[in-house]
Amino acid sequence: MIITLKLGGDIIKKPESSLFADLKRTSTQHSVILVHGGGDEVTEIADKLGKKQKFIVSPGGIRSRYTDEETVKIYTMVMCGKNNKELVAALERENIQALGLSGLDGGLVRAERKKQLISVEDGRKRIIDGGFTGQIRKINGNLLSAILKDGYIPVVAPVALGEEFEFLNVDSDRAAAYVAGELKADTIVFLTDVSGVYMESKLIREMKIGEAESMMKKVGFGMEKKLMACVEAVRMGVGTGLPEASCRHRSRAGCVGLGCRRQGVRGLYGGLWCGSSRTLQPTSRLGRQGPGGSLDNKPSLTLQSCQVTISREAQRNLSKRSRSRVSFEQWSRSERVCHQARQEIHW
pLDDT surpasses 50 at 87: yes
Range from 12-16, 54-58, 298-302, 324-328 carrying the lowest mean pLDDT = 324-328
Q: What is the pLDDT of residue 347?
A: 27
Q: Is 235 left (phi over 0), alpha (psi -120 to 50) or beta?
A: alpha
Q: What is the pLDDT of residue 312?
A: 39
Write out pLDDT tens, residues 14-58. Answer: 666 677 888 888 888 899 999 999 999 999 999 999 999 999 988
pLDDT tier at 128, thresholds 50, 70, 90: very high
* Percent share of the chain, pLDDT over 70: 64
Contact 246, 278 (CB under 8 A): no
CB neighbours of 242 closer than 8 A, spacing ≥ 6?
1, 186, 187, 261, 275, 276, 277, 278, 279
The count of other CB atoms within 10 Å of the CB of residue 83 is 26
pLDDT tier at 328, thresholds 50, 70, 90: very low
What's the predicted TM-score (pTM) here? 0.72
Write out pLDDT tens, residues 240-272. Answer: 543 332 223 333 322 223 344 433 333 333 444
98-102 and 153-157 strand pairing: parallel
Closest CA to 55 of 117, 123, 138: 117
List Cα–Cα distances, 330 to 117, 249, 261, 338, in angstroms.
46, 8, 21, 11
Which residue ranges form the domains of the chain, and what is each CATH number?
A: 1-185 (3.40.1160.10), 193-347 (no CATH)
Arithmetic mean of pLDDT over the chain: 72
List Cα–Cα distances, 234 to 11, 37, 293, in angstroms.
25, 21, 22
**In this structure, is the dihedral angle defined by the CA atoms of residues 107, 111, 115 and 116, taken in order, positive or negative?**
negative
74/86 Cα distance (integer angstroms): 17
The count of other CB atoms within 10 Å of the CB of residue 200 is 6
Contact 37, 173 (CB under 8 A): yes
Q: State mean pLDDT over 203-210.
A: 73
Phi, psi (rounded to 5 degrees) for 155: -115, 110
Q: 319-328 as b/e, with b when 16 or more CB fall inside 10 Å?
A: eeeebeebbb
Q: Is 184 left (phi over 0), alpha (psi -120 to 50) or beta?
A: left
